[in-house]
Chains A and B, each alone.
Chain A
Amino acid sequence: MSAPALMQETAGAGQDLNAQALRTDARRESLRLLALLSPSLFLVFAIIIVPIGWLFWLSLFDEAGAFSAANYARFFEQVSYIKTFTTTFKVAFIVTGACVLLGYPLAYMLSQLPRRAASICLIFVILPFWTSVLVRTYAWLVILQRKGLINSWLIDLGVISQPLSLANNLSGVVIGMTHILLPFLVLPLYASMKTIDTDCLRAGMNLGAGPVATFRQIFFPLSLPGLASGVVIVFVLCLGFFVTPALMGGGKVIMWAMRMEQTTSLYSNWGAGAALGVVLLVVTLALLGLFQWLLGARATGVWSSR
């Protein structure tokens, strides 16, 4: 308070009066806010940024320690890697598709139910969401394995004589992952459906569109952004999913994340594992970025056409 008192005597023009003191004050305020953020930022930096940067650096050297792209070239040359990628994308596509098929009707139903009924039904979506992935994977193992519930029921009923192989293969992985990832699609989709203005639908019906036409021409297009964000989240999570394929794949379904774990833990080949991780991160960020860009472009497109 003493510094400004000195200054105002000299600054007669009324310009930049106390500007220095105010700048100092603003800087002090920013520092205070940064002080609140710094512990969190430091932890994230130390646990996420530093190790990933380090791994990226490692991935640029071959096993002899020479600078090379060998760790990345391997992905195109070795059949086992190509197979891992094909499996991963295959699972991701199937699981995402299954989530859309199951999730869209569910979200649609939730959005149309009265508030109380919807919030009760939502509990059934949120509870699994917050239940350990391990618990749910275990449940599906119990249900799907050779002597599991499904097989014993079907045999008891005389539908089949030999147990179906549902677990320890691709179908087990797909079923388990669909169950685990479904809420990730339903919750954003439901949220976006709730924002659709019922008046739009009433107007559509008033203008002579039947229920089906109203749904197809008004509701469905309006729900697409929510569906798209759900799809992207599920797809991206599929690419890096570890627990369920590791436990339900029976060692036959090797997905990206499992490959990373094997390469580093089993073979201690850090360069190769790191390269896998780097590519996985790049693909993830690229998909999210592409989605953001498309959504942004779409939003502005709608805006300018008005």
Chain B
Amino acid sequence: MSIAPSALPISMRGIEKRFGSVAVLRDLNLDVEAGEFLTLLGPSGSGKTTLLMILAGFVRANAGSIKVGNDEIITTPPHKRNIGMVFQNYALFPHMNVFHNIAFPLKQRSVTAAKTAERVEKALDLVKLQGLGERRVDQLSGGQRQRVALARAIVFEPRIVLMDEPLSALDKGLREHMQIELRALHRRLGMTTVYVTHDQREAITMSDRIAVMNGGRIEQLDRPETLYATPQTRFVAGFIGESNFIPVECRNGSVWYEDRRIHTAAPVPAAGQHLMVVRPEKLRLLANAEPASGVNVLNATLSDIIYQGDSFVCYAVLRDGRQLTLRDYCRSDVLAKMPASGQPVSLGLDAQDTILVAAD
């Protein structure tokens, strides 16, 4: 990835924010690398938008430090931060046309008219809105407004671009299209980007790294694939992708589910109660209980099968009454051996697919 010369790293330290007596952010530390696309992912109320607003300078933290490059900006007013911002509802200026919306940041910086026209034209090109400069804002579709907001946020070549759920107002097809396009635009321009969303799919699709937030803290900060493969907490495992949770116990250096020893590729944690995270697509229906080495076998009763066209979902009940979900593609070999509801089944899980997290 080419890093634009203007891209700068962000370093946040000890960010605290309270609204009255409610702590929204607690001693939060986060480093965003230069040119990185970092997503703050979390449920509503996790503090992700507050953190973004503190970065932009619209909300004042109670304590903390934000450094962009070597500059401390925690008390810098928003207009001197040189940060481009895209809001959820776009916040386009309805009393200006597309051209003047995009030219707004250049006007504030006293850029000459000729230079302004040239740069606005370039920005319109980038977001594929050539020739729409004279349009009024209310003549644009949702997707076009989104693009104008984006062009306006990058036309002045800010050090950082912040986006607050910018795609949530678009319908599904357009949203997925814009995800790809935003990603490509980021690759091309290479500005440091902090993106906020509550949609885990969107986060996985677009981000270099994802910070999963919960209750005002960052639960885990990792690349999307790492986050999915090795979630470190129950919250992360539950929030990203689907998960079955099976209570297990660690003793004498191995992992036990009831009286059965679990094969695991991961290092065995300290003795005590833990949860095994089982992704539905990692489970397999075994033809018979032939325990190949390194494969964990769970005996269960099939309770229901739901066909979803390309794939199917099985619900199986373990002996302790716990329900597991299994997902697989509708391949003919799998379908041919499909047991019926109510039959006992053996579910296989490879040792390298077991994930252990602390029980809360």
Contact = CB atoms under 8 A, between A and B. Distances in A.
B13 A22 contact: no
A8 B13 contact: yes
Given A8-B13, A14-B29, A1 B76 contact: yes
A22 B63 contact: yes
Query: In the complex, which of the residues B16, B62, B72, B73 has the most CB atoms of chain A within 10 Å of its own CB atom?
Result: B72
Query: In the complex, which of the residues B14, B67, B71, B76 has the most CB atoms of chain A within 10 Å of its own CB atom?
Result: B14
A17 interface: yes
Interface string A51-79: 00000000000000000000000000000
Contacts of B62: 19, 22
B76 A18 contact: no
Contact of B63 (A1, A5, A16, A29): A16
A29 B72 contact: no
B175 interface: no
A196 B232 CA distance: 51
A105 interface: no
B65 interface: yes
Contacts of A21: 74-75
A1 B80 CA distance: 12
A18 B64 contact: yes
B60 A14 contact: no
Interface in A1-41: 1, 4-5, 8, 11, 13-19, 21-22, 25-26, 29
Contacts, number: 55
B61 interface: yes
Contact of A8 (B16, B60, B65): B65
B242 interface: no
A29 B67 CA distance: 22
Interface string B39-73: 00000000000000000000011111101000111
A4 B29 contact: no
A18 B75 contact: yes
Contacts of A5: 72
Interface string B66-95: 010001111110000000000000000000
A11 B72 CA distance: 14
A22 B72 contact: no
A1 B72 contact: yes
Given A4-B65, A29-B60, A14 B74 contact: no
Query: In the complex, which of the residues B60, B63, B76 has the most CB atoms of chain A within 10 Å of its own CB atom?
Result: B63
B65 A22 contact: no
Nearest to B28: A14
A143 B76 CA distance: 68
Query: In the complex, which of the residues A1, A5, A17, A22 has the most CB atoms of chain B within 10 Å of its own CB atom?
Result: A17
B68 to A, nearest CB: 12
Contacts of A14: 13-14, 27, 29
Given A8-B67, A26-B60, 11 more contacts: A1-B75, A1-B76, A4-B72, A4-B74, A4-B75, A11-B65, A15-B16, A15-B63, A19-B62, A19-B63, A22-B75
Interface of B: 13-14, 16, 27, 29, 60-65, 67, 71-76
29 contacts: A1-B71, A1-B73, A1-B75, A1-B76, A4-B65, A4-B72, A4-B74, A4-B75, A5-B72, A11-B65, A14-B13, A14-B27, A15-B63, A16-B16, A17-B13, A17-B14, A17-B63, A17-B64, A18-B63, A18-B64, A18-B74, A19-B16, A21-B74, A21-B75, A22-B60, A22-B64, A22-B75, A26-B60, A29-B60
* Top 5 A-B residue pairs of the complex, sorted by shortest distance between their CB atoms: A14-B14, A19-B63, A17-B14, A4-B72, A16-B63
